[in-house]
Amino acid sequence: MSTSRIVNGVEVATHYKDDTHQYLSNKEGIWLFMATEILMFGGLFIGYIIYHTMYPEMFAEGAKYLDWKLGFVNTLVLIFSSFTMALGIYFNQKNQPKKAVMALGATVLCGAIFMVIKYFEYTHKFHLGIYPGQMLNLEMVKPVHQNLGLYFGFYFCMSGLHGLHVLIGMCLITWVMIRNIRGDFHSNYYTPIEGVGIFWHIIDLIWIFLFPLLYLVG
Amino acid sequence: MGTHHSTHNHGAAHSSDSAHHVTPFNVYVKVAVALFALTFLTVAAHSIREHLQPFSALIAFSIATVKAYLVVAFFMHLKYETNMNRAIFISGFLFLALLFILTTLDIYTRITQNSVL
Protein backbone atom coordinates (compact mmCIF):
# COMPACT_ATOMS: atom_id res chain seq x y z
CA MET A 1 0.00 0.00 0.00
CA SER A 2 1.06 3.59 0.44
CA THR A 3 2.78 2.71 3.72
CA SER A 4 5.69 0.98 2.03
CA ARG A 5 7.82 1.04 -1.09
CA ILE A 6 10.28 -1.31 -2.77
CA VAL A 7 13.98 -0.54 -2.26
CA ASN A 8 16.62 -2.95 -3.60
CA GLY A 9 13.95 -5.65 -3.99
CA VAL A 10 12.81 -5.24 -0.38
CA GLU A 11 9.50 -3.87 0.89
CA VAL A 12 10.58 -0.92 3.04
CA ALA A 13 8.23 0.95 5.40
CA THR A 14 8.06 4.72 4.83
CA HIS A 15 9.73 5.64 8.11
CA TYR A 16 12.96 3.93 7.03
CA LYS A 17 15.55 5.56 4.76
CA ASP A 18 16.23 2.33 2.84
CA ASP A 19 16.34 -1.47 3.20
CA THR A 20 19.59 -1.39 5.21
CA HIS A 21 18.13 1.11 7.68
CA GLN A 22 15.07 -1.12 8.11
CA TYR A 23 17.18 -4.29 8.50
CA LEU A 24 19.47 -2.76 11.15
CA SER A 25 16.55 -1.23 13.07
CA ASN A 26 14.66 -4.52 13.12
CA LYS A 27 17.73 -6.38 14.39
CA GLU A 28 18.30 -3.79 17.10
CA GLY A 29 14.77 -4.49 18.32
CA ILE A 30 15.51 -8.20 18.49
CA TRP A 31 18.68 -7.58 20.50
CA LEU A 32 16.72 -5.42 22.96
CA PHE A 33 14.31 -8.33 23.33
CA MET A 34 17.29 -10.65 23.95
CA ALA A 35 18.48 -8.39 26.81
CA THR A 36 15.05 -8.82 28.44
CA GLU A 37 15.32 -12.60 27.99
CA ILE A 38 18.69 -12.58 29.78
CA LEU A 39 17.11 -10.60 32.62
CA MET A 40 14.07 -12.90 32.89
CA PHE A 41 16.06 -16.15 33.05
CA GLY A 42 18.86 -14.39 34.96
CA GLY A 43 16.52 -13.65 37.87
CA LEU A 44 15.75 -17.37 38.18
CA PHE A 45 19.46 -18.25 37.95
CA ILE A 46 20.30 -15.80 40.75
CA GLY A 47 17.50 -17.18 42.92
CA TYR A 48 18.83 -20.69 42.31
CA ILE A 49 22.41 -19.71 43.19
CA ILE A 50 21.36 -17.98 46.43
CA TYR A 51 19.17 -20.84 47.68
CA HIS A 52 21.80 -23.35 46.56
CA THR A 53 24.41 -21.72 48.78
CA MET A 54 21.89 -21.72 51.66
CA TYR A 55 20.88 -25.40 51.28
CA PRO A 56 23.67 -27.17 49.35
CA GLU A 57 22.80 -30.67 50.68
CA MET A 58 19.11 -30.30 49.83
CA PHE A 59 19.96 -29.19 46.25
CA ALA A 60 22.36 -32.12 45.89
CA GLU A 61 19.56 -34.48 46.96
CA GLY A 62 17.22 -32.92 44.38
CA ALA A 63 19.75 -33.22 41.56
CA LYS A 64 19.96 -36.99 42.23
CA TYR A 65 16.40 -37.33 40.92
CA LEU A 66 17.47 -35.99 37.51
CA ASP A 67 18.94 -38.24 34.84
CA TRP A 68 21.92 -36.35 33.40
CA LYS A 69 21.90 -38.62 30.32
CA LEU A 70 18.55 -37.18 29.23
CA GLY A 71 19.83 -33.63 29.80
CA PHE A 72 22.96 -34.53 27.84
CA VAL A 73 20.96 -35.85 24.85
CA ASN A 74 18.78 -32.74 24.94
CA THR A 75 21.92 -30.55 24.93
CA LEU A 76 23.18 -32.30 21.79
CA VAL A 77 19.74 -31.99 20.15
CA LEU A 78 19.57 -28.25 20.86
CA ILE A 79 23.13 -27.61 19.63
CA PHE A 80 22.33 -29.43 16.40
CA SER A 81 19.11 -27.42 16.05
CA SER A 82 21.08 -24.18 16.50
CA PHE A 83 23.41 -25.32 13.73
CA THR A 84 20.52 -26.04 11.34
CA MET A 85 18.88 -22.72 12.30
CA ALA A 86 22.08 -20.87 11.37
CA LEU A 87 22.08 -22.78 8.06
CA GLY A 88 18.47 -21.67 7.46
CA ILE A 89 19.79 -18.10 7.33
CA TYR A 90 22.94 -19.05 5.42
CA PHE A 91 21.02 -20.73 2.57
CA ASN A 92 18.72 -17.72 2.21
CA GLN A 93 21.78 -15.48 2.03
CA LYS A 94 22.95 -17.75 -0.82
CA ASN A 95 19.51 -17.67 -2.54
CA GLN A 96 18.89 -21.39 -1.96
CA PRO A 97 15.39 -21.37 -0.44
CA LYS A 98 14.80 -25.14 -0.80
CA LYS A 99 17.85 -25.98 1.32
CA ALA A 100 16.88 -23.23 3.76
CA VAL A 101 13.39 -24.74 4.19
CA MET A 102 14.97 -28.15 4.85
CA ALA A 103 17.29 -26.64 7.46
CA LEU A 104 14.35 -24.91 9.16
CA GLY A 105 12.34 -28.16 9.07
CA ALA A 106 15.23 -29.98 10.76
CA THR A 107 15.29 -27.26 13.42
CA VAL A 108 11.58 -27.70 14.22
CA LEU A 109 12.08 -31.48 14.32
CA CYS A 110 14.93 -31.09 16.84
CA GLY A 111 12.70 -28.83 18.94
CA ALA A 112 10.03 -31.56 18.89
CA ILE A 113 12.57 -34.23 19.97
CA PHE A 114 13.64 -31.96 22.82
CA MET A 115 10.03 -31.52 23.97
CA VAL A 116 9.28 -35.27 23.78
CA ILE A 117 12.29 -36.02 26.00
CA LYS A 118 11.15 -33.24 28.38
CA TYR A 119 7.66 -34.76 28.42
CA PHE A 120 9.04 -38.14 29.53
CA GLU A 121 11.20 -36.48 32.19
CA TYR A 122 8.25 -34.53 33.59
CA THR A 123 5.75 -37.42 33.58
CA HIS A 124 8.31 -39.66 35.28
CA LYS A 125 8.72 -37.08 38.06
CA PHE A 126 4.95 -36.65 38.46
CA HIS A 127 4.71 -40.44 38.70
CA LEU A 128 7.18 -40.39 41.62
CA GLY A 129 5.17 -37.64 43.34
CA ILE A 130 7.70 -34.93 42.51
CA TYR A 131 5.97 -31.58 42.06
CA PRO A 132 7.21 -28.02 42.61
CA GLY A 133 7.21 -26.44 46.07
CA GLN A 134 4.56 -27.44 48.57
CA MET A 135 2.89 -29.73 46.03
CA LEU A 136 5.77 -32.22 46.37
CA ASN A 137 4.33 -35.42 47.84
CA LEU A 138 6.42 -35.97 50.99
CA GLU A 139 4.85 -39.38 51.75
CA MET A 140 5.71 -40.73 48.31
CA VAL A 141 9.14 -39.13 47.85
CA LYS A 142 10.28 -39.50 51.50
CA PRO A 143 13.06 -36.91 51.07
CA VAL A 144 15.93 -36.51 53.53
CA HIS A 145 15.34 -32.76 53.43
CA GLN A 146 11.74 -31.71 54.05
CA ASN A 147 12.16 -28.56 51.93
CA LEU A 148 13.08 -30.52 48.79
CA GLY A 149 10.09 -28.88 47.07
CA LEU A 150 12.13 -25.68 46.86
CA TYR A 151 14.65 -27.38 44.56
CA PHE A 152 11.88 -28.72 42.34
CA GLY A 153 10.21 -25.31 42.37
CA PHE A 154 13.34 -24.00 40.67
CA TYR A 155 13.64 -27.08 38.46
CA PHE A 156 10.10 -26.88 37.10
CA CYS A 157 10.08 -23.07 36.76
CA MET A 158 13.41 -22.89 34.97
CA SER A 159 13.04 -25.90 32.68
CA GLY A 160 9.32 -25.13 32.22
CA LEU A 161 9.94 -21.54 31.16
CA HIS A 162 12.68 -22.81 28.89
CA GLY A 163 10.36 -25.47 27.44
CA LEU A 164 7.72 -22.80 26.80
CA HIS A 165 10.37 -20.88 24.84
CA VAL A 166 11.14 -23.99 22.79
CA LEU A 167 7.42 -24.37 21.94
CA ILE A 168 7.09 -20.69 20.96
CA GLY A 169 10.33 -20.95 18.98
CA MET A 170 9.00 -23.99 17.09
CA CYS A 171 5.83 -22.03 16.15
CA LEU A 172 7.92 -19.05 14.98
CA ILE A 173 10.25 -21.23 12.91
CA THR A 174 7.23 -22.94 11.31
CA TRP A 175 5.90 -19.47 10.44
CA VAL A 176 9.14 -18.34 8.73
CA MET A 177 9.41 -21.77 7.06
CA ILE A 178 5.96 -21.27 5.46
CA ARG A 179 7.00 -17.79 4.33
CA ASN A 180 10.24 -19.26 2.98
CA ILE A 181 8.28 -21.83 0.96
CA ARG A 182 6.03 -19.00 -0.29
CA GLY A 183 9.14 -17.27 -1.65
CA ASP A 184 9.20 -14.24 0.64
CA PHE A 185 12.94 -14.36 1.34
CA HIS A 186 16.12 -13.84 -0.70
CA SER A 187 19.71 -12.77 -0.10
CA ASN A 188 18.67 -9.16 0.47
CA TYR A 189 15.69 -9.87 2.71
CA TYR A 190 15.57 -12.57 5.40
CA THR A 191 15.05 -10.38 8.50
CA PRO A 192 12.25 -12.51 10.04
CA ILE A 193 14.42 -15.66 9.82
CA GLU A 194 17.37 -13.85 11.37
CA GLY A 195 15.17 -12.52 14.20
CA VAL A 196 13.59 -15.91 14.89
CA GLY A 197 17.08 -17.45 14.63
CA ILE A 198 18.50 -15.12 17.29
CA PHE A 199 15.54 -16.07 19.52
CA TRP A 200 16.19 -19.79 18.91
CA HIS A 201 19.91 -19.42 19.69
CA ILE A 202 19.17 -17.69 23.01
CA ILE A 203 17.07 -20.76 23.91
CA ASP A 204 20.13 -22.89 23.18
CA LEU A 205 22.30 -20.47 25.14
CA ILE A 206 20.07 -20.70 28.23
CA TRP A 207 20.02 -24.50 28.04
CA ILE A 208 23.85 -24.53 27.85
CA PHE A 209 23.80 -23.07 31.39
CA LEU A 210 20.71 -24.92 32.63
CA PHE A 211 22.20 -28.34 31.82
CA PRO A 212 25.21 -28.14 34.18
CA LEU A 213 23.23 -26.12 36.74
CA LEU A 214 20.31 -28.56 37.12
CA TYR A 215 21.71 -31.92 36.05
CA LEU A 216 25.43 -31.92 36.87
CA VAL A 217 26.29 -29.53 39.68
CA GLY A 218 22.98 -29.88 41.51
CA MET B 1 2.78 -8.20 2.66
CA GLY B 2 1.83 -10.12 -0.39
CA THR B 3 4.63 -8.75 -2.52
CA HIS B 4 6.49 -11.68 -4.01
CA HIS B 5 10.05 -10.77 -4.68
CA SER B 6 11.79 -12.26 -7.62
CA THR B 7 15.14 -13.52 -6.50
CA HIS B 8 17.58 -11.92 -8.88
CA ASN B 9 16.28 -8.40 -9.49
CA HIS B 10 18.33 -6.44 -7.01
CA GLY B 11 21.30 -5.38 -9.07
CA ALA B 12 21.51 -2.11 -7.15
CA ALA B 13 21.69 -3.98 -3.87
CA HIS B 14 25.39 -3.44 -3.33
CA SER B 15 24.77 -0.42 -1.15
CA SER B 16 23.57 -2.77 1.61
CA ASP B 17 26.21 -5.48 1.25
CA SER B 18 27.99 -4.37 4.39
CA ALA B 19 24.84 -4.91 6.48
CA HIS B 20 24.45 -8.53 5.37
CA HIS B 21 27.47 -10.44 6.59
CA VAL B 22 27.60 -14.00 5.26
CA THR B 23 29.42 -16.42 7.57
CA PRO B 24 31.17 -19.15 5.52
CA PHE B 25 29.55 -22.61 5.75
CA ASN B 26 32.65 -24.26 7.20
CA VAL B 27 32.71 -21.78 10.09
CA TYR B 28 29.24 -22.99 11.14
CA VAL B 29 30.44 -26.61 10.89
CA LYS B 30 33.53 -25.86 13.00
CA VAL B 31 31.47 -24.06 15.65
CA ALA B 32 28.96 -26.94 15.80
CA VAL B 33 31.77 -29.50 16.15
CA ALA B 34 33.38 -27.40 18.90
CA LEU B 35 30.04 -27.17 20.75
CA PHE B 36 29.54 -30.96 20.55
CA ALA B 37 33.12 -31.57 21.73
CA LEU B 38 32.70 -29.17 24.67
CA THR B 39 29.44 -30.90 25.67
CA PHE B 40 31.28 -34.25 25.77
CA LEU B 41 34.07 -32.55 27.76
CA THR B 42 31.47 -31.30 30.28
CA VAL B 43 30.17 -34.83 30.79
CA ALA B 44 33.71 -36.27 30.95
CA ALA B 45 34.61 -33.75 33.67
CA HIS B 46 31.39 -34.68 35.47
CA SER B 47 32.33 -38.38 35.48
CA ILE B 48 35.61 -37.63 37.31
CA ARG B 49 34.15 -34.87 39.50
CA GLU B 50 35.38 -36.52 42.75
CA HIS B 51 38.94 -35.86 41.60
CA LEU B 52 38.18 -32.29 40.55
CA GLN B 53 36.63 -31.07 43.82
CA PRO B 54 36.19 -28.30 44.76
CA PHE B 55 36.50 -27.03 41.19
CA SER B 56 34.01 -29.28 39.39
CA ALA B 57 31.26 -26.63 39.33
CA LEU B 58 33.71 -23.95 38.21
CA ILE B 59 34.94 -26.21 35.39
CA ALA B 60 31.38 -27.02 34.25
CA PHE B 61 30.40 -23.34 34.10
CA SER B 62 33.68 -22.29 32.48
CA ILE B 63 33.02 -24.76 29.66
CA ALA B 64 29.41 -23.50 29.45
CA THR B 65 30.71 -19.92 29.14
CA VAL B 66 32.98 -20.88 26.23
CA LYS B 67 30.02 -22.63 24.55
CA ALA B 68 27.83 -19.56 25.15
CA TYR B 69 30.48 -17.34 23.55
CA LEU B 70 30.57 -19.55 20.44
CA VAL B 71 26.75 -19.49 20.12
CA VAL B 72 26.50 -15.72 20.62
CA ALA B 73 29.48 -14.76 18.45
CA PHE B 74 28.93 -17.09 15.48
CA PHE B 75 25.37 -18.45 15.47
CA MET B 76 23.82 -15.17 16.63
CA HIS B 77 26.37 -13.22 14.53
CA LEU B 78 27.19 -10.83 17.38
CA LYS B 79 30.83 -10.90 16.25
CA TYR B 80 29.71 -9.09 13.09
CA GLU B 81 27.05 -6.91 14.70
CA THR B 82 27.05 -3.17 15.35
CA ASN B 83 28.56 -1.91 18.59
CA MET B 84 25.09 -0.71 19.56
CA ASN B 85 23.69 -4.26 19.48
CA ARG B 86 26.70 -5.53 21.40
CA ALA B 87 26.18 -2.84 24.05
CA ILE B 88 22.47 -3.73 24.27
CA PHE B 89 23.15 -7.43 24.80
CA ILE B 90 25.97 -6.88 27.29
CA SER B 91 23.80 -4.41 29.24
CA GLY B 92 21.49 -7.33 30.05
CA PHE B 93 24.38 -9.10 31.79
CA LEU B 94 25.52 -5.92 33.55
CA PHE B 95 22.10 -5.38 35.10
CA LEU B 96 22.01 -9.07 36.00
CA ALA B 97 25.34 -8.65 37.82
CA LEU B 98 23.87 -5.66 39.66
CA LEU B 99 20.85 -7.72 40.70
CA PHE B 100 23.13 -10.54 41.86
CA ILE B 101 25.45 -8.29 43.90
CA LEU B 102 22.69 -6.34 45.64
CA THR B 103 20.53 -9.42 46.33
CA THR B 104 23.48 -11.38 47.69
CA LEU B 105 24.54 -8.51 49.94
CA ASP B 106 20.99 -8.23 51.26
CA ILE B 107 20.59 -11.94 51.90
CA TYR B 108 23.91 -12.37 53.68
CA THR B 109 23.90 -9.20 55.74
CA ARG B 110 20.27 -9.30 56.83
CA ILE B 111 18.27 -12.47 56.29
CA THR B 112 20.84 -15.19 57.05
CA GLN B 113 21.98 -13.27 60.15
CA ASN B 114 18.66 -13.36 61.97
CA SER B 115 16.16 -15.66 60.36
CA VAL B 116 15.42 -19.31 59.79
CA LEU B 117 14.14 -18.70 56.23
Secondary structure of residue B11 in the 3-state scheme? coil
Domains of chain A in sequence order: 34-217 (1.20.120.80)
Assembly ipTM: 0.91
Q: How far apart are CA A149 and CA A143, in angstroms?
A: 9
pLDDT, position B40: 96
For range B9-30, the mean pLDDT: 70
If DSSP codes are grouped into helix, strand and coil, which group holds residue B82?
coil
What number of C-beta contacts closer than 8 Å exist between A and B? Answer: 169
Of A10, A18, A86, the CB nearest to B28: A86
What is the C-alpha R_g of chain A? Answer: 21
pLDDT at B1: 40
Q: How does residue B4 score in pLDDT terms, banded at 50, 70 and 90?
A: very low
- Computed over every residue of chain B, the mean pLDDT equals 83
Q: Average pLDDT for residues A118-145, to the nearest whole number?
A: 93
Residue A68 has what pLDDT? 92
> For position B116, what pLDDT does the model report?
58
Per-residue pLDDT for B14 more than 50? no
8 Å CB contact between A114 and A78: yes
Instruction: Please tell me if residue A128 touches chain B, with a CB cutoff of 8 Å.
Output: no
Asked whether A67 and A110 are in contact (CB, 8 A), the reply is no
B86 Cβ neighbours under 8 A, 6+ residues apart: B78
Buried b (16+ CB within 10 A) or exposed e, A10-21: bbbeeebeebbb
Interatomic CA distance for residues A199 and A205, integer angstroms: 10
Chain A residues 75-94 within an 8 A CB cutoff of chain B = 75-76, 79-80, 82-83, 85-87, 90, 93-94
For residue B63, pLDDT beyond 70: yes
Residue B55 — pLDDT band, cuts 50, 70, 90?
A: confident
Does the structure show a pLDDT above 90 at B12?
no
> What is the percentage of chain A residues whose pLDDT exceeds 90?
86
| pLDDT above 70 as % of chain A | 99
A161 has pLDDT over 70? yes
Q: Does B32 touch chain A (CB under 8 A)?
A: yes
- Domains of chain B, by residue range, sit at 21-81, 82-117
Check residue B117 and give its pLDDT.
Answer: 52
Predicted local distance difference test score (pLDDT) of residue B73:
95
* Mean pLDDT, residues A172-180 taken together: 97
Ranking A3-12, A37-46, A148-157 by mean pLDDT, the lowest is A3-12
Nearest to A93 among B16, B22, B49 (CB): B22
